[in-house]
Amino acid sequence: MIESRHADIAIIGAGPAGMAAAVRLAEAGVHPVLFDLNATPGGQIYRQLGNPQVGAGVMGEEYQHGRSLVEAFARADIDYRPLSRVWWIGRKGTGYDLGVVQHRAQSWHAERLILASGAMERGWPFPGWQLPGVMTAGAAQILLKQGALLPGVSPVLAGSGPLLYLLAWQYLQAGQPPALVLDLASASRYRALLRQPRRAWHGRNYLLKGVRMIAALRRAGVPVLLGVDGIQAEGREAVERVRYRHRGHWKTLPAALLLTHFGVVPEPQLARSLAIPHRWETGQQAFLPERSEVLAVEERLWVAGDGGGIGGAINAEREGRLAALEVLQSLAGKAQDGLARERAALQRARRRDLEARRLLETLFRLPGDWLEVQPEDTLVCRCESVSRGEVERAITQGAAGPNQLKAFTRCGMGPCQGRQCGESVARLLAHRTAQSMDAIGYYHIRPPVHSVTLGELAAQQET
Amino acid sequence: MFRRSPHACQTASQVQIRVDGIAVSVPDTLSVAAAVLQVHGWQGYRRHHDGSPRAPLCLMGSCHDCLITVDGQPNRQGCLVPVAEGMQVERQGGGRHD
Amino acid sequence: MRQDFLIVGGGVVGMAVAYGLARAGQRVTVLDERDDALRASRGNAGLTWVQGKGIGMPRYAELSLDAVQAWPAFAEELQARTGVDLQYERRGGVDLCLDADEAETRQAEYRTLQTVSPRLAREFEWQYLHRDELLEHLPGLGERVHGGTWSPHDGHCNPLYLLRALYAASLDLGVTLHPATPVQSVARRAGRFVATTPRGDIEAERIVIAAGLGAQTLAPMLGLSGAVRPLRGQIIVTERLPLIDQLPTPQIRQTASGGYLIGDTHEDAGFDKGVTLNMVNALAAKAVRIFPRLSQARLVRAWGALRVMTPDGNPLYEASKACPGAYNINCHSGITLAAFHAGDLARAILDDCLSQDFPQFSGERFHVPA
């Protein structure tokens, strides 16, 4: 048997939700252990904010907003464990067992757990998306935050979502404007918007911000094409050309770097690994773990931040605090009168914010019939190189669900554990069998959630 | 190739690492994947087991297309390993690894 | 259309029988569970294996020998029909012994088997090889391995592709598949068999229960034995690694895609098919003991599955006396036996001579008073 370290409360993830939860707990005299993949706190949104590499003028105010939180986190009394990969999660007794690799493998038992593992960019197949020179907008932004790295060439930006425009704007401020911005959001979005004037009003700040960014890009001479409905990357060893379809016509543009963004979805692996029930949320076009009003998925497990549904950094911070309040109540074993007002205020703000956010979902809605019209040889699973055609053949040969399909094709069996192809496979099955995404479901997610070597595990066995 | 912006803050110290045996100096805030993208760009980053060329897609730990050999350990996620003084990085261009 | 056979269970056992019956011109309907069912077919090592089978029941060892002899033609036929590469190989296999005690017990078992069965004495070839002698079959074998029994009969395949090929071939032969159609009850009504499902009743002239652990409740409804219990096995698999010319073992084998499959655990865990941290660590340690080079290999997946065990661990092939036309097919070795299930067994079901041809495998053996 392997000895386990014990924690009353563990948090996974040091983004805004995880940091806020930890800080709030520490304020109350509770000292959580916090595991995070990265070397410094901040998550993706506040990455490197403790030692920023680019000026505020380039990054914009959202990035700066996290400063006080990162500083509070640095001051708080927290057992913060950076560069820790939680590769295993399982239920044990009333709590949770965690397998963690931080320099070496270790086992933990946490009585209470907050999952704050955030979001990831949606895997969205198109021809050539596996070529070097195709990266996500998020990746480009990480390079900017991590080392003020800018592409040495003018990139083409394509996709849908606020991040696409934010990156375009940041590149513009940094003196490296993109060659072109291709907006692939569903063409029906403005009609949808007009039908929802109340939603537009709630989200007016988002609208205004977007309009200003697009205006700034256009002023600087960056073409922004709306209504693009096809994209392809071409090249032998790397991207050489980008093809796109605009108003029914395919056009080709020489380009070495294509930065794409198709929205963000909850990083699913930890919650899926615990077989937490999920449902398909049509607004977000994503599977979300089922949470209660107070973010609980089980008696002693909470999901806070974008990992439970995309709400953005400020909402994540709020959810982190909310989860912390629930933990405090759980530790006390009864309702805490002193926390009631704080909780109510957080929940009010959360509801208001999420309502406003629905505007973004409408504005950046991806076309629902994308994947099935991509060429047959378009890769769905990058790790195992499984094409759309191969997935379709397996469905014809009797693969009726995602797990049977995985068994028949190896789709989702590679090192990314289905993160890039899980949604696509569910979409293809739903389309072919005329069932809902909820009826189709998702892969069983198996450990390891993150990479671990046999040697690391074996060493633990022997000590 | 990615290059450091002339407007970068001067707060990062440099560390020396070796990429495919050649010593290079990079900011210590970078991940191994970011460092390779700065030194060599995305071309030649990695070859997939199917023979196709690959390079990092997401840089946030999810795509696993940044696999690289660090200090003799193959298939590490380059985006999750910070650079460190004296680190030996080898790109997996030969197709031997996944 | 009138159906000749209902097969309850779309795993590798049910599909092999369905394929065998369809190939013989029967109209077959397969009822399968939902995507998240127990699925022993997806949780095995993919061995086509004789060693270790039938300890205490030589007839089962003989059956396994028949099955592995039928495998090459079976694999070729399925591949030709479907284009699915089963990644089947039969170049021999080694069952490792980590220490001297294990080696001694193993050899004694094989010798006993050959003492009681003249056929096995003649045909079952095996040899104990010490670690150094095994190096040519298993390059890089660790020094903390005592040796192993080598046998030329053994081989391996990709069990998932076997299942896919059985699906594809069966569909091609006109088999009707109802996925996500769990059978709630089975009954004989007006001389025919009826399966009740959430999608309504489905009928056929005859019925084969190939429901794995589902037989616990379904088989007794037709006067068949439901005496099966789950025995959990946990498996881990590594990332792809360079292919090495080496033989498979039940403890570890390299698959055609390059990953190493590590398993061979046995636990009573009820219907929990999960994995445990301790067992995954133990499997990793065992893999490194067998092949020290795997220390740097990354784990890509760990999962558990439930073997379907009869009281004596041997297959159950029975025809119902109470309800003629109902059959119960159950075993924990559906990969090795697939060639037999699709061949001789399907024929015996078709000709309704299961109890004459395979009397040793009837459920009655569990009811004999002590």
ipTM of this predicted structure? 0.96
A387: CB partners within 8 A, 6+ apart: A376, A377, A378, A379, A380
**B58 to A175: CB separation less than 8 angstroms, yes or no:** no
Within 10 angstroms of residue A27's Cβ, the number of other Cβ atoms is 14
The partner residue sitting opposite B64, judged by closest CB among A54, A58, A415, is: A415
Task: Compute the nearest-CA separation of C177 from chain B (Å).
Answer: 34
Residues of chain B above pLDDT 70, percent: 95
φ, ψ dihedrals at C153, nearest 5°: -75, -25
Average pLDDT on B2-21 reads 92
The partner residue sitting opposite A147, judged by closest CB among B12, B50, B73, is: B12
Average pLDDT on A242-268 reads 97
- With tokens 């409804």, the residue in question is C221
Give yes or no for C39 touching A (CB within 8 A): yes
C215: CB partners within 8 A, 6+ apart: C209, C224, C225, C226, C228, C308, C328, C330
- With tokens 């193959």, the residue in question is B74
A47: CB partners within 8 A, 6+ apart: A38, A40, A142, A145, A146
Give yes or no for A451 touching B (CB within 8 A): yes
User: Chains meeting B at 3+ CB pairs closer than 8 A?
Assistant: A, C
**Helix, strand, coil share (%) of chain B residues, nearest 5:** 10, 35, 55
* pLDDT greater than 50 at residue B5: yes
- The pLDDT score that the predictor gives to residue C59 is 96
- The pLDDT score that the predictor gives to residue A462 is 62
C-alpha–C-alpha distance, residues A167 and A408, integer Å: 39
Q: Which of A2-11, A70-79, A241-250 has the lowest mean pLDDT?
A: A2-11
Q: Residue B86 falls within a domain, yes or no?
A: yes
Task: Compute the nearest-CA separation of A194 from chain B (Å).
Answer: 34
- The pLDDT score that the predictor gives to residue A188 is 73
Average pLDDT on A311-320 reads 97
Decide if C147 contacts C103 (C-beta within 8 A). Answer: yes
C-alpha–C-alpha distance, residues C189 and B21, integer Å: 77
- The pLDDT score that the predictor gives to residue A30 is 96
Q: How does strand A180-183 pair with strand A224-225?
A: parallel
Decide if C287 contacts C293 (C-beta within 8 A). Answer: no
Tokens of B39: 């030194």
A368: CB partners within 8 A, 6+ apart: A186
C-alpha–C-alpha distance, residues C114 and C109, integer Å: 9
Q: Using a CB-CB distance cutoff of 8 angstroms, which residues of chain A are in contact with residue B73?
A: 453
C-alpha–C-alpha distance, residues C317 and C319, integer Å: 7
Nearest to A398 by CA among A388, A389, A408: A408
**Chain C interface, best mutation among B75, B81, B96, by max C CB count within 10 A:** B75
Q: Residue B2 falls within a domain, yes or no?
A: no
- With tokens 């480009």, the residue in question is A140
Nearest to C16 by CA among C73, C59, C74, C63: C74
- The pLDDT score that the predictor gives to residue C368 is 55
Tokens of A268: 């699913």
- The pLDDT score that the predictor gives to residue A428 is 98
φ, ψ dihedrals at A336, nearest 5°: -105, 110
- With tokens 């922004």, the residue in question is A224
Q: Residue B97 falls within a domain, yes or no?
A: no
With cut-offs at 50, 70 and 90, classify the pLDDT of residue A402: very high
With cut-offs at 50, 70 and 90, classify the pLDDT of residue B11: confident
- How many interface pairs between A and B have CB atoms less than 8 angstroms apart? 157
Task: Compute the nearest-CA separation of C292 from chain B (Å).
Answer: 15
C-alpha–C-alpha distance, residues A49 and A64, integer Å: 8
All domains of chain C, ordered by start, with CATH?
A: 5-45+159-227+312-366 (3.50.50.60), 93-152 (no CATH), 229-309 (3.30.9.10)
Those of residues 8-37 in B touching chain C at CB distance below 8 A are none
- The pLDDT score that the predictor gives to residue A432 is 96
- The pLDDT score that the predictor gives to residue A204 is 80
**B74 to C296: CB separation less than 8 angstroms, yes or no:** yes
* Structural domain for B56, as ranges: 14-90
Task: Compute the nearest-CA separation of C276 from chain B (Å).
Answer: 24
pLDDT in tens, A40-61: 999 999 999 999 999 888 988 8
**B11 to A52: CB separation less than 8 angstroms, yes or no:** yes
Which segments in chain C show pLDDT lower than 50?
Answer: 370
Q: Using a CB-CB distance cutoff of 8 angstroms, which residues of chain B are in contact with residue A128?
A: none
Q: How does strand A4-12 pair with strand A104-115?
A: parallel
Give the residue on B whose Cα is nearest the Cα of A38: B80
Within 10 angstroms of residue A344's Cβ, the number of other Cβ atoms is 10
pLDDT in tens, B67-85: 999 999 999 999 999 999 9
Decide if C265 contacts C233 (C-beta within 8 A). Answer: yes
Give yes or no for A216 touching B (CB within 8 A): no
Q: Residue B25 falls within a domain, yes or no?
A: yes
Find the angle CA(C338)-CA(C342)-CA(C348) to the nearest 5 degrees.
120
Those of residues 52-91 in B touching chain C at CB distance below 8 A are 73-75
Mutual angle of helices C159-172 and A402-409, in 10-degree steps: 110
- With tokens 């396994």, the residue in question is C64
C-alpha neighbours within 13 Å on the C-beta side of residue A178 = 28
- The pLDDT score that the predictor gives to residue C370 is 44
Q: Residue B3 falls within a domain, yes or no?
A: no
CATH of the domain at B86: 3.10.20.30
Distances (CA, A) of C53 to C39, C67, C299, C313: 22, 12, 30, 9
**C239 to B98: CB separation less than 8 angstroms, yes or no:** yes
The partner residue sitting opposite C284, judged by closest CB among A394, A401, A457, is: A457
Give yes or no for A82 touching B (CB within 8 A): no
Measured in whole angstroms, how far is the alpha carbon of residue A432 from the centre of its chain? 27
- The pLDDT score that the predictor gives to residue A189 is 73
Q: Using a CB-CB distance cutoff of 8 angstroms, which residues of chain C are in contact with residue A415?
A: 239, 298, 300
Task: Compute the nearest-CA separation of B96 from chain A (Å).
Answer: 15
- The pLDDT score that the predictor gives to residue B98 is 46
- With tokens 């069983």, the residue in question is A444
Decide if A115 contacts A303 (C-beta within 8 A). Answer: yes
- How many interface pairs between B and C have CB atoms less than 8 angstroms apart? 11
Task: Compute the nearest-CA separation of C153 from chain B (Å).
Answer: 32
With cut-offs at 50, 70 and 90, classify the pLDDT of residue B28: very high
Q: Residue B6 falls within a domain, yes or no?
A: no
Question: Collapsing DSSP states into helix, strand and coil, what is residue A274?
Answer: coil
**Chain B interface, best mutation among A48, A149, A386, A410, by max B CB count within 10 A:** A149
* pLDDT greater than 70 at residue A463: no
Q: Residue B95 falls within a domain, yes or no?
A: no
Q: How does strand C229-238 pair with strand C299-309?
A: antiparallel
| Positive or negative: CA dihedral C241, C242, C243, C249 | negative
User: Chains meeting A at 3+ CB pairs closer than 8 A?
Assistant: B, C
Give yes or no for C164 touching A (CB within 8 A): yes
All domains of chain A, ordered by start, with CATH?
A: 4-120+265-334 (3.50.50.60), 123-262 (3.50.50.60), 371-440 (1.10.10.1100)
Distances (CA, A) of C63 to C77, C162, C341, C344: 21, 20, 11, 10
Measured in whole angstroms, how far is the alpha carbon of residue C58 from the centre of its chain? 18
**Chain A interface, best mutation among C301, C303, C335, by max A CB count within 10 A:** C301
- With tokens 């068994």, the residue in question is A407
Task: Compute the nearest-CA separation of C183 from chain A (Å).
Answer: 17
Task: Compute the nearest-CA separation of C335 from chain A (Å).
Answer: 15
Give the residue on B whose Cα is nearest the Cα of C242: B96
Give yes or no for B97 touching C (CB within 8 A): yes
C-alpha–C-alpha distance, residues A202 and A205, integer Å: 8
Q: Using a CB-CB distance cutoff of 8 angstroms, which residues of chain C are in contact with residue B74?
A: 296
Residues of chain B above pLDDT 90, percent: 86
Q: Residue B4 falls within a domain, yes or no?
A: no
A296: CB partners within 8 A, 6+ apart: A302, A326
Task: Compute the nearest-CA separation of C258 from chain B (Å).
Answer: 9
pLDDT in tens, A182-191: 999 987 777 7
Give the residue on B whose Cα is nearest the Cα of A57: B7
Report the domain count for chain B.
1
**C240 to B97: CB separation less than 8 angstroms, yes or no:** yes
Task: Compute the nearest-CA separation of A338 from chain B (Å).
Answer: 39
Give yes or no for B98 touching C (CB within 8 A): yes
Q: Using a CB-CB distance cutoff of 8 angstroms, which residues of chain B are in contact with residue C239?
A: 75, 98
Decide if A353 contacts A390 (C-beta within 8 A). Answer: no
Helices (H), A12-133: 16-27, 56-59, 61-65, 67-75
**B75 to C242: CB separation less than 8 angstroms, yes or no:** no
- How many interface pairs between A and C have CB atoms less than 8 angstroms apart? 128
Look up the pTM and report it.
Answer: 0.96
Give the residue on B whose Cα is nearest the Cα of C299: B75
pLDDT in tens, A261-277: 999 999 999 999 999 99
Give chain C as a 3 state SS string.
Answer: CCCCEEEECCCHHHHHHHHHHHHCCCCEEEECCCCCCCCHHHCCCCEECCCCCCCCCHHHHHHHHHHHHHHHHHHHHHHHHHCCCCCCECCCEEEEECCHHHHHHHHHHHHHHHHHCHHHHHHCCCEEEEHHHHCCCCCCCCCCCCEEEEECCCEECCHHHHHHHHHHHHHHCCCEEECCCCCCEEEEECCEEEEEECCEEEEECEEEECCHHHHHHHHHHHCCCCCCEEEEEEEEEECCCCCCCCCCCCCEEECCCCCEEECCCCECCCCCCCCCHHHHHHHHHHHHHHCHHHHHCEEEEEEEEEEEECCCCCCEEEECCCCCCEEEEECCCCCCCHHHHHHHHHHHHHCCCHHHHCHHHCHHHHCCCC
Average pLDDT, chain A: 94
**B73 to C240: CB separation less than 8 angstroms, yes or no:** no
